[in-house]
Structure formats: C-alpha cells, structure tokens
C-alpha cells in the first residue's frame, strides 16, 4: 500500500527572513539552517543560531519528530528532529514536514524512506531549475510512501541505523588499516 505524503503529513515552507539573520546570544528563538542537518540525516540542535524575534506565530515552531527537508542543491534528503529544539524555526529554503497520522507512520521511517532510491528518483524527476535544483512543496506532498505496519517500520528504522553504524565502523577500520600498512612499509623502506 502506498500513500501520498500529503495524506500523512503537513509540508510547510521554512520561514523566510527578509534580511540577513541578526544573531543574538540571548535571543528567544533558535533557527534551524542547512548547516544543522547532519550526514546521518538527523538535526543537530547543539549550535543553533539564536535571534530576537517576538512576532513568531506558534505554527512556525519546529518540534520533536519534525522532518527538515533539503529542498535545494544536489542532496534532496530530510533530517529528523530527535530532540525537542525548544522555540526554533526552520529557515527557508528548507521545508518542514510534520507527521499528522502517527497511527500510520513513524517520523523516523518517513525520514528513512525519503532518502531511498525510489523516493529520490521521483523527487529528481520533479526537480525544477537549471543551475540550482529545487524540489517544490507540491513534489514532496505528491511523493508516495510504502506503508508497512508500525512494527515493521520500527524494525526498518532500527536495521537501517545499525547498517549505517556498521558502515562507519568499517570505514574507520579500513582507514586505520591503511595507516598501519603505510607505517610498516615506510619502516621497511628505511630498512628499520
């Protein structure tokens, strides 16, 4: 069974700041930007820029479980907010995707699904622009998602996470092995 994202979640454009962000350490509102999206498709809330902005409406604020989608550039994947960011807004050109049917889909599963080949092929086919590729809100809403049971979704997310960790460990191991062999060869070359 496949269902379009618009029936499972709301997609909202990131907040558009009319000018450069005036940062303020004691600012009451944090801003989630492209640089806060990590390679493992999660959002880092550690270094969020803070601003003074009083006139923010409640519906602009991000919350735990929201997805932040990269709508511009070569990488068109999302990142999930695994922690409560407090009073934080998602800045344009990012999009915020909020699951409205938690009984049907897990945010972590939707986050995983968006980065899979089927979804990426669909999004790439709907990208607009020649130099800077852009994925519209409409394209995201029209993306169809395969919906297994919540239990299966949980298993998929856990296995994908373990697989990603394994890949990281294997890469680290390969790098250490390369350094080790290089050191041995250098000693051999020097006749040590």
CATH, residue 124: 3.90.220.20
In degrees to the nearest 10, what's the CA dihedral of 173, 77, 20, 131? 100
pLDDT of residue 75: 78
Task: Enter the pTM of the model.
Answer: 0.85
Give every CB contact of residue 40 below 8 A, 6+ residues apart in sequence: 164
Same domain, 40 and 114: yes
pLDDT of residue 28: 84
Same domain, 111 and 43: yes
Determine the Cα–Cα distance for residues 87 and 153; give it in Å rounded to an integer.
29
pLDDT of residue 81: 94
Q: Is the dihedral of CA 181, 183, 186, 190 positive or negative?
A: negative
Q: Is 151 helix (H, G, I), strand (E, B) or coil?
A: helix
Q: Is the dihedral of CA 59, 78, 165, 105 positive or negative?
A: positive
Per-residue pLDDT of the chain (192 residues; tens, 9 = 90+): 899 999 999 999 998 887 777 777 778 888 999 999 988 889 998 889 888 876 777 778 999 999 999 988 777 889 999 999 888 999 988 999 999 999 999 999 999 999 999 999 999 888 887 777 889 999 999 999 999 999 999 999 999 999 989 999 999 999 999 999 999 999 999 998
Same domain, 87 and 156: no
Same domain, 88 and 154: no
pLDDT of residue 115: 92
Same domain, 141 and 154: no
Paired tokens of 49: 């820029």
């Amino acid at each position: 069974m496949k269902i379009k994202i618009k029936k499972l979640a709301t997609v909202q454009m990131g907040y558009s700041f009319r000018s450069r962000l005036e940062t303020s350490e004691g600012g009451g509102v944090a801003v989630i930007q492209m640089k806060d999206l990590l390679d493992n498709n999660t959002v880092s809330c550690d270094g969020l820029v803070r601003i003074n902005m009083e006139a923010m409406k409640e519906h602009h604020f991000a919350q735990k479980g929201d997805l932040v989608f990269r709508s511009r550039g070569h990488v068109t994947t999302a990142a999930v907010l695994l922690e409560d960011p407090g009073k934080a807004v998602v800045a344009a050109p990012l999009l915020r995707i909020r699951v409205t049917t938690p009984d049907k889909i897990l945010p972590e599963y939707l986050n995983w699904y968006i980065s899979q080949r089927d979804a990426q092929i669909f999004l790439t086919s709907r990208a607009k622009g020649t130099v800077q590729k852009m994925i519209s809100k409409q394209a995201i809403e029209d993306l169809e998602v395969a919906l297994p049971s919540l239990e299966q979704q949980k298993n998929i997310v856990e296995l994908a996470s373990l697989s990603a960790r394994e890949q990281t460990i294997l890469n680290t191991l390969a790098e250490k092995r390369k350094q080790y062999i290089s050191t041995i060869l250098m000693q051999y070359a020097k006749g040590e």
